[in-house]
Amino acid sequence: MDLRSVIRTIPDYPKPGIMFRDITTLLTDARGFRRAVDEMVQPLAGAKIDKVAGIEARGFILGGAIAHQLSVGFVPVRKKGKLPHKTISQSYELEYGVDEVEIHVDAVKKGDRILLVDDLIATGGTAEAAIKLIERAGGEVVLCSFVIDLPDLGGAEKLRKAGKHVSSLLAFEGE
């Protein structure tokens, strides 16, 4: 099965010139979803992972399934103000402004080996903020895993230059 065949592309969303890669069609396809999760777990064979951290919101779906498959805990990386307990946060730059992501203060223990998961890596700002947040909490991000890489936007390369291992199932180049 070609995973590209179950990923919908929506032209000019959320603004003209953007080709939005929608994985909700992948998630509704049982075989495609299973294959994506299996392929995201495969590079971890023999690796010690303590927790999976998923970036809001599609990273929750993928990360939860991967955590289940690895029999480890799950850490939600949420937008500011969404978690009910005491949190730590990390800000990051957006195209127009600044945003923040948070985790609970007790979500990551010192020395935890973390797999960071999201559906897509574009400029890498949110993933980079999540990594900084996890590391401030005492964890070590051992792999960043995405379904889709948009290499023209440089996010995966930015994470690699920062010393992180990055894997993705698909790349949409020049689009």
Positions marked catalytic: 58, 95
Q: Please compute, for residue 126, the number of CA atoms within 13 A of its CA located in the half-sphere on the CB side.
A: 23
What H or E segment, with its residue span, contains residue 84? none
DSSP-derived letter for residue 42 is G
Q: Please compute, for residue 34, the number of CA atoms within 13 A of its CA located in the half-sphere on the CB side.
A: 4
Residues 14 and 66: their CA atoms lie apart, in Å, by 29
Residues 117 and 169: their CA atoms lie apart, in Å, by 12
Phi, psi of 44 (to 5 degrees): -95, 5
Contact 74, 54 (CB under 8 A): yes
